[in-house]
């Protein structure tokens, strides 16, 4: 069965770093775009980053593009999101999601995502 397990969240101080992981199973990783979303309390879910199917082209939201890196380990069927220089406004539940055959732009359309992880909480606080 298809499953996405997101992990790596935690409590960090401003300026700290985290590496989130999205471990997938039940499908071939590079046949899917893998996106990261986040949702803070009282706010709508927003796109953060994505790596496209096939060529692995990447997308970053303006809010994170200078301090984040999305990467894909095909052998481990896992996508990572490295977050650096974290800010309090980064506090949110982060979700990974998969879109079959999607490009990096898939993350801009959450309804296009076929599968979702359960989320991992990132808290940035001093």
Condensed to tens digits (0 to 9), the pLDDT of residues 96-120 reads 999 999 999 999 988 889 999 999 9
> Strand 18-25 vs strand 78-83: parallel, antiparallel, or unpaired?
antiparallel
Which among 123, 81, 72, 116 is positioned nearest to 95, based on CA atoms? 116
Give yes or no for a contact between 23 and 77, defined as CB atoms under 8 angstroms apart.
Answer: yes
Q: Is residue 68 helix, strand or coil? A: strand
The pLDDT value given to residue 5 = 98
pLDDT band for position 27 (50/70/90)? Answer: very high
Cα angle at 5 between 59 and 64, to 5 degrees?
Answer: 25
- Would you state the structure tokens that stand for residue 71, as one six-digit string? 């990467």
Q: Which residues face 84 on adjacent strands?
A: none
Q: What is the pLDDT of residues 51-81, one digit of tens each?
A: 999 999 999 999 999 999 999 999 999 999 9
- Average pLDDT in the chain: 96
Spatial separation of the C-alpha atoms in residues 61 and 30, rounded to whole Å: 21
């Amino acid at each position: 069965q298809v499953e996405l397990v997101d992990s790596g969240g935690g409590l960090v101080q401003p300026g700290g770093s985290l590496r989130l992981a999205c471990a997938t199973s039940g499908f071939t990783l590079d046949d899917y775009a893998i996106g990261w979303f986040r949702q803070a309390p009282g706010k709508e879910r927003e796109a953060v980053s994505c790596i496209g199917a096939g060529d692995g082209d990447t997308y970053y939201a303006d809010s994170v593009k200078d301090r984040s890196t999305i990467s894909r380990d095909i052998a481990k069927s896992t996508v990572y999101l490295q977050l650096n220089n974290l800010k309090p406004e980064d506090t949110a539940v982060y979700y990974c999601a998969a879109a079959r055959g999607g490009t990096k732009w898939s993350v801009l359309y959450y309804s296009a995502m076929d599968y979702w992880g359960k989320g991992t909480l990132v808290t940035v606080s001093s």
